[in-house]
Amino acid sequence: MEKKSTRTAYAVAIVAIVVLLGALAMMYKDVETGFVGTCWSLLPPVVAIALALISKEVYSSLFVGCLVGSLLYTQFAPWDTIVQLVGGDYGIVTTVSDSYNMGIIVFLVMLGIIVDLMNKGGGSEAFGRWANTSVKSRCGAQLMSMLLGCLIFIDDYFNCLTVGAVMRPVTESHHISRAKLAYVIDATAAPVCMIAPVSSWAAAVSGYVQSDNVNGIEMFIKQIPYNYYCLLTLLMIVVISVLNIDYGPMLKHEYNAQVKGDLFTTPERPFAGDDEYVQPANGKSSVADLLLPVIVLIIACIIGLIYSGGFFDPEAGSSYQNIIESFSNADASVALSIGSLIGVVFTFLYFWARRAINFEKSFESVPNGFIQMIAPILILSFAWTLCSFTRYGLDSESFVVGALAGAEGLKKFLPAVIFIIGAFIGFATGTSWGTIGIMAPIVVSVFNYDVEPTLCVIGLAAACAGGVCGDHCSPISDTTIMASAGAHCYHLNHVFTQLPYAATVAAVSFVSFIIAGLIQNVVICLAIACALMIVTLLVIKAVTEKQHGDMLAEIRAAKK
């Protein structure tokens, strides 16, 4: 917060929050249930997001959001507020010590160690050298990042950090800004996982809609071609890469990267020094030094997922159907922890066997890997706490259910409404899983699958797409945080540059869900949605050329 205007805006926002909280304390002092299940249950994340956007500083903003959540939950009891904020039912200590969250933290640290080992062992340097000769253009580098993101469809956390580690040297050699890399990573994380039948996301969604009359996996697969936000996000990456379309704050980042050679634009360098790739001790490195650890990590994580889902249970058998069931029952936290531990052990042994790094030097990667992940772990800890207060402590789900109760009369337009509500909840809470967990059961209850199967599927797709859209836009989203970490990009730079792109896809998706509710033909609706997306991007390209012609001319000159 360096500028005086920013400090003033932040101070005004804090005063407004204090005044609002004071008014709420007076209004609800005699209400036994307090703020539980009311519209005010969404106030904590709204406060955190607003402060982050004003101040461009995420740590204090998230902390203030958590503080507001604990104040509302305890109905402004001073001592109880402190207790709840730190170690109460939904406080920071309780949230971080949750077994699932702790598993994700272990996975992050393990992945940080693997990345540091690959740097020290020469894998990153070798891959960058290969990319310089094999990937000939910026378009190729962006599409390669997208392809790798699509191939790593098992889990979004794993996707973000792995794609970032592999593609940073490639995109750097073609002067692609870190903000652009972060966008491509984020756009191929949750959106890809949400349309992959075999993934931790498929398992979660199928569990939300499973019932006696509806098979969860079947419903998940049927919603894929109607999931416009995820599908159009992937289409958008292809179009903007091939046609070289950039707009909004991203245009400035790409201009600086291509014309000035500055990949970051702003002074913040949260991962300074971590991208200095070195030659191995034996002076020899190959692309295999990066690919083998990543491939082993992927295989180990897949095995970890089906193991945690009971595939290796002696009584389970080994049929294809049981593999699907194992993914449905998988615990992603346990699976990723197991997979990353196997990956770390393999990477140590591999580089020792190659004599690329000695025993003593290799173990410097343990603290270094942890240090690299401190920022995302801290942000995740606050984001998880904020989500815990909002979803569980203040029961935002009840408010959403009540808001949708009177919408049954407009069923054909309801998928579009569900998409918008899901996007808002995902943006406010920073979790697509939590949003889908709220919305999917509502969809199944509003649309009777036996009577209106197509509308039910479209509604589920709208809930899933809305959750991913909100999560994609939100500065407090775990996958947004992970994408920033994977790209080694300052977090709020990623947030600001990504928002116009995500909003473009969201607008086209909203229109597409209206059309889908009316036509209810999967092929026709998808064709219309794709055509709308391409036309929209062409219009944006023409407008950008008109408004920023000089800047674009400098970029084209720099390429020559």
Q: pLDDT digits over 98-129, tens only?
A: 887 888 788 878 878 887 888 788 876 777 67
195: pLDDT confidence band, cut at 50, 70 and 90?
Answer: confident
When the pLDDT of each residue in the chain is averaged and rounded to a whole number, the result is 82
- pLDDT of residue 173 exceeding 90, the answer is no
* Greatest mean pLDDT range, 26-35, 303-312, 477-486, 523-532: 523-532
What is the C-alpha separation between 528 and 264, in angstroms, rounded? 37
Q: Mean per-residue pLDDT for 315-336?
A: 67
Cβ 345 vs Cβ 306: under 8 Å: no
Tens-digit pLDDT profile for residues 226-271: 999 999 999 999 999 999 999 999 999 999 999 988 899 888 777 6
For residue 182, is pLDDT > 70? Answer: yes
What is the distance between the alpha carbons of residues 67 and 11, in angstroms, rounded to a whole number? 17
What pLDDT does 32 receive? 72
Q: Is the pTM of this model over 0.85?
A: no
DSSP string, 333-402: HHHHHHHHHHHHHHHHHHHHHHTSS-HHHHTTHHHHHHHHTHHHHHHHHHHHHHHHIIIIIS-HHHHHHH
Q: Which pairs with CB-CB distance under 8 Å and at least 24 residues apart come from 167-170? A: 167/141, 168/124, 168/275, 168/487, 168/488, 169/124, 169/125, 169/127, 169/128, 169/131, 169/275, 169/277, 170/127, 170/128, 170/131, 170/135, 170/141, 170/144, 170/145
| pLDDT score, position 257 | 92
Q: For the residues 45-68, what does the mean pLDDT come to? A: 81
Residue 272 three-state SS = coil
pLDDT tens-digit series, residues 433-478: 667 766 776 777 677 777 778 888 898 899 899 989 998 888 888 8
Q: Which of 23-27, 211-215, 401-405 has the lowest mean pLDDT?
A: 211-215
CB contact at 8 A, 157 and 478? yes
Q: Please report the pLDDT score of residue 443 as a whole number.
A: 77
Residues 66 and 80: beta-carbon distance below 8 Å: no
To 5 degrees, how large is the angle CA 32–CA 35–CA 39? Answer: 140
Task: Check residues 461 and 398 and name the one with the higher pLDDT.
Answer: 461
**Is the pLDDT at 29 greater than 80, yes or no?**
no
Residues 6+ apart with CB under 8 A from 306: 312, 323, 326, 327, 330
178, 264 contact by CB (below 8 A): yes
Residue 115: per-residue pLDDT: 77
Q: What is the DSSP letter of 153?
A: -
State the pLDDT at residue 560.
62
Alpha helices in 197-287 (DSSP H): 200-209, 216-223, 228-242, 249-255
What is the mean pLDDT of the segment spanning 316-323?
59
Nearest CA to 291 among 353, 347, 355? Answer: 347
> Is the pLDDT reported for residue 200 higher than 60?
no
- Position 47 confidence tier, pLDDT thresholds 50, 70, 90: confident
Q: What is the pLDDT of residue 409?
A: 57
Round to whole Å and give the CA distance between 203 and 199.
6
Percent of the chain with pLDDT over 90: 23
What average pLDDT does this structure show over 53-77? Answer: 84
Cβ(52)–Cβ(10) under 8 Å? no
What DSSP state is assigned to residue 40?
G
Give the list of residues 6+ apart from residue 556 with CB closer than 8 angstroms, or none: none
What average pLDDT does the segment 50-62 reach?
77
The reported pLDDT for the residue numbered 321 is 56
Domain ranges of the chain: 1-88, 90-258+274-560
Give the model's confidence band at 500: pLDDT under 50 very low, under 70 low, under 90 confident, else very high.
Answer: very high
* pLDDT given at position 226: 94
Average pLDDT over residues 1-11: 74
User: CA distances (Å), 177 to each of 106, 182, 481, 492, in order?
Assistant: 29, 9, 17, 14
Select the more confidently predicted residue: 454 or 500: 500
Q: Residue 282: what pLDDT?
A: 62
pLDDT at 540: 96
Residue, of 533 and 277, whose pLDDT is higher: 533
- Res 46 pLDDT > 50: yes
Q: Give the pLDDT mean for 134-147.
A: 88
pLDDT of residue 125: 72
Q: What letter represents residue 342's amino acid? A: I
Q: What is the pLDDT of residue 59?
A: 78
423, 473 Cβ separation under 8 angstroms: yes
User: Is pLDDT of 314 > 80?
Assistant: no
Check residue 155 and give left, alpha or beta (phi > 0: left; psi -120 to 50: alpha).
beta
In this predicted structure, what is the pLDDT of residue 526? 95
Least confident range of 86-100, 283-297, 320-334: 320-334
> What amino acid occupies position 548?
H
Q: What's the pLDDT band for 512 if we cut at 50, 70, 90? A: very high
Most confidently modeled of 142-151, 189-198, 462-471?
A: 462-471
Predicted confidence at residue 1, as pLDDT, reads 47
Contact between 362 and 353 (Cβ < 8 Å): no
| Distance of alpha carbon 7 from alpha carbon 364, whole angstroms | 40
Residue 344: band (very low, low, confident or very high) from pLDDT cuts 50, 70, 90: very high
Nearest to 249 by CA among 505, 473, 479, 495: 495
pLDDT at 497: 95
